[in-house]
Amino acid sequence: MRLQVGARTDTGRVRELNEDVYLLRPEQGLFLVCDGMGGCPSGEVASELAARTIFEHMNALPGTAVTAPGDDYLPQSRRLRRAVERSNQYIYERARAEPRHAGMGSTVVSAWINGQLVSVAHVGDSRAYLWHRSHLERLTRDHSLHEAGIRRNVLVRALGREATVDVELREVAVQPGDYVLLCSDGLTNTVPEASVSSAISRLRDPQRICDYLIDAANQNGGPDNITVVVVEVVGGMWRSMWSHWTRRLSGGDIASAHSAS
């Protein structure tokens, strides 16, 4: 199973800083988007720390992560959850140790794709979607008061704000031709899900999908930072060869990128 990846982050039209971060490790199948909060310069610091520490913990953790009682998740999901929990602890301690970063926090939505099994772990209101045959399914539930019917950007879970965090997991199986999309609320607050779905159906190329969606969010005012990561699960031989050559021509894989200045 090959993965073809596109990603882009944008400050939007109102904010001065981009506190969103994405991280791509296609060789590992690990992708994440973090949306920082806490004001200058802490929001940027928090999202950057979140992305980096989750990645580091994923590599440092032993193959089999600890099982919680009544835990019905795959070992790969538990490992991802553990990495997010450790990242929370790290940011929380940093925020307490450095007064200028007091109160910093970050959302995270992460996807770990192992063959056809995908583990999604999230905290906050950044989202993951699965696109399958023109149908877009949301894989995450916002941890915000929005879900309780109050239209406000009030998070009830975030990384780094409390000593422990409740990480939500979701598992799905994917097939060749499916797309996994991760994004910050800068996209979901401005672009309706129907437009996201039709953009994937129409454009197909992950990077073109990201570019299109960021432009659409900016055309709708771009009130917040916008980040989109699109991963295409590539199946058949012809499709793989085609994506291989187009990637060679466009200058190689994107290994990692942080918020553009």
Partner 1 sequence: MPRLILRLDHQVLKRYSMGSVVTIGRLPDNTVIIDNPAVSGHHACASLDGEHFIIEDLESTNGTFVNDRRVTRHTLQNGDVVRVGNHTLVFDAEHGRKVDVQEAAERIVSNPGDTVFLDADKHQALLAMLKDAADDGTAAGAPAPSLVGVLRVLEGRTDQPEYRLQAHTSFIGKADTSLVRLKGWFKPDVAVVITRGDQGYTATHMRSGALVNGERLTGRRDLKEGDVLRVGGLTLEFGFSR
Binding region for partner 1 (CB under 8 A): 35, 37, 39, 72-74, 77, 103, 105, 116-117, 125, 132-133, 139, 141, 145, 148-150, 152-156, 158, 161-162, 169-175, 185
Round to whole Å and give the CA distance between 178 and 198: 14
> Which of 21/174 has CB closer to partner 1?
174
> Which of 156/257 has CB closer to partner 1?
156
Beta bridge pairs of residue 111? 31, 120
Beta strands 127-132; 168-173: pairing state: unpaired
> Which of 100/133 has CB closer to partner 1?
133
> Which of 155/182 has CB closer to partner 1?
155
User: DSSP secondary structure string, 60-119?
Assistant: HS-SSPPPPTT--S-HHHHHHHHHHHHHHHHHHHHHHH-GGGTT-EE-EEEEEEETTEEE
Contact present, 25 and 257 (Cβ < 8 Å): no
**Cis peptide preceding 41, ω within 30 of 0:** yes
For the bound state, the minimum distance from the C-beta of residue 255 to partner 1, rounded and expressed in Å, comes to 29
For the bound state, the minimum distance from the C-beta of residue 107 to partner 1, rounded and expressed in Å, comes to 9
> Which of 24/34 has CB closer to partner 1?
34
Round to whole Å and give the CA distance between 37 and 66: 30
HSE-CB for 154 with a 13 A CA cutoff: 8
Token readout for 190 is: 């401005």
For the bound state, the minimum distance from the C-beta of residue 102 to partner 1, rounded and expressed in Å, comes to 12
How large is the angle between the packed helices 206-219 and 193-203, nearest 10 degrees? 140
Residue 75 CA to chain centroid, in angstroms? Answer: 20
For the bound state, the minimum distance from the C-beta of residue 220 to partner 1, rounded and expressed in Å, comes to 18
Round to whole Å and give the CA distance between 231 and 95: 33
> Which of 24/139 has CB closer to partner 1?
139
> Which of 141/202 has CB closer to partner 1?
141
